[in-house]
Amino acid sequence: MSELGVIRGRWSAVCLQAAAVSAASGVALGIWGWRAVEHGPAFRFLWWNLLLAWVPWLLSVPVMLGRRWLSVLLVPVWLAFFPNAPYLVTDFIHLRPRPPAPLSLDVLLLGSFALAGCVLGWLSLMNVHRALERSMPQRGAWAVVLGVLGASGFGVYLGRFLRWNSWDVVTEPGALLESAARALLQPAAVAYSVAFAGFIGAGYLALHAAQESRHPDAP
């Protein structure tokens, strides 16, 4: 395939992804608006969490498009923000009866935001994975992906239970490292991190398999 064809293919993938993440986010925000009209506004924090979930996908786009000099700068930032996408799954911790709103409506609301976050996260990981496969052997790229999954599972733990944020990597690196080191000595923290990494990884593997199966007869 010519270089122009490659570029067009990558931009086509970006456009399809943009449609997918916009649709998932739009559905989530629409359900939030519907609930707000019917039963009053609640779960306002979901807007901020969804905004943070968009950051890793936005950062992954120039990486996937092949801007190598940008990749060196963006991938570390992407890795710091990546856990914010699947983090939306943990917002189910806020689920409780809020009459007169039906509990099932709040399940749907939180589930829609969790889905949007996962889609943003999985597609951003796919973009970085594609970029890695252009610069290293396939096994090496998968090894990096596994490392990212493990780090993201631990990152979600640090965010949900210890209340650290992505920008604390820059603003409070010493305190963050000390807190992370202590957490790694706790079996419960490690178990949660591994379980969540497995959750993210299973979803990504399904998405990757679906992508690969689009051209089963390709050499």
Query: Tokens for 110?
Result: 């939180």
Query: Tokens for 207?
Result: 């998405």
- 206: exposed, middle or buried (C-beta count within 10 Å: 0-12, 13-18, 19+)? exposed
Domain coverage including residue 131: 3-212
Residue 180 pLDDT level (bands cut at 50, 70, 90): very high
Question: Tens digits of per-residue pLDDT, 5-57?
Answer: 677 778 889 999 999 999 999 999 999 999 999 999 899 999 999 999 999 99
Query: Tokens for 1?
Result: 């395939």
On the question of pLDDT at 219 being above 50, the answer is: no
Give the residue, 162 or 214, on which the prediction is more confident.
162
Mean pLDDT rounded to a whole number for the chain: 93
The pLDDT of 170-182, averaged and rounded, is 95
Residue 2 pLDDT level (bands cut at 50, 70, 90): low
On the question of pLDDT at 160 being above 60, the answer is: yes
How many angstroms separate the CA atoms of 219 and 142, rounded?
Answer: 20
Residue 217 pLDDT level (bands cut at 50, 70, 90): very low
Would 180 be classed as within a structural domain?
yes
Report residue 44: phi and psi, to 5°. Answer: -60, -25
3-state secondary structure of 35: helix
To the nearest whole percent, how much of the chain has pLDDT over 70?
95
Number of neighbouring beta carbons within 10 Å of residue 201: 19
Give the residue, 139 or 3, on which the prediction is more confident.
139
Of 5-9, 83-87, 101-105, 214-218, give the lowest mean pLDDT range.
214-218
How many angstroms separate the CA atoms of 35 and 109, rounded?
Answer: 8
On the question of pLDDT at 216 being above 70, the answer is: no
Would 79 be classed as within a structural domain?
yes
Query: Tokens for 82?
Result: 């990546």
Question: Tens digits of per-residue pLDDT, 56-75?
Answer: 999 999 999 876 777 788 99
How many angstroms separate the CA atoms of 10 and 64, rounded?
Answer: 7
Would 141 be classed as within a structural domain?
yes
Query: Tokens for 123?
Result: 């597609």
Would 218 be classed as within a structural domain?
no
Would 190 be classed as within a structural domain?
yes
Would 219 be classed as within a structural domain?
no
The answer to whether the beta carbons of residues 151 and 79 sit under 8 Å apart is yes
How many angstroms separate the CA atoms of 170 and 160, rounded?
Answer: 19
Would 50 be classed as within a structural domain?
yes
Q: Is the pTM of this model over 0.85?
A: yes
The pLDDT of 85-110, averaged and rounded, is 96
The answer to whether the beta carbons of residues 44 and 116 sit under 8 Å apart is no
CA distances from 153 to 6, 90, 157 (A): 33, 12, 7
Would 183 be classed as within a structural domain?
yes
The number of folded domains in the chain is: 1
Question: Tens digits of per-residue pLDDT, 129-156?
Answer: 999 998 889 999 999 999 999 999 999 9
Phi-psi group of 41: left, alpha or beta (phi > 0 → left; psi -120 to 50 → alpha; rest → beta):
beta
How many angstroms separate the CA atoms of 82 and 155, rounded?
Answer: 9
The answer to whether the beta carbons of residues 59 and 74 sit under 8 Å apart is yes
Give the residue, 218 or 39, on which the prediction is more confident.
39
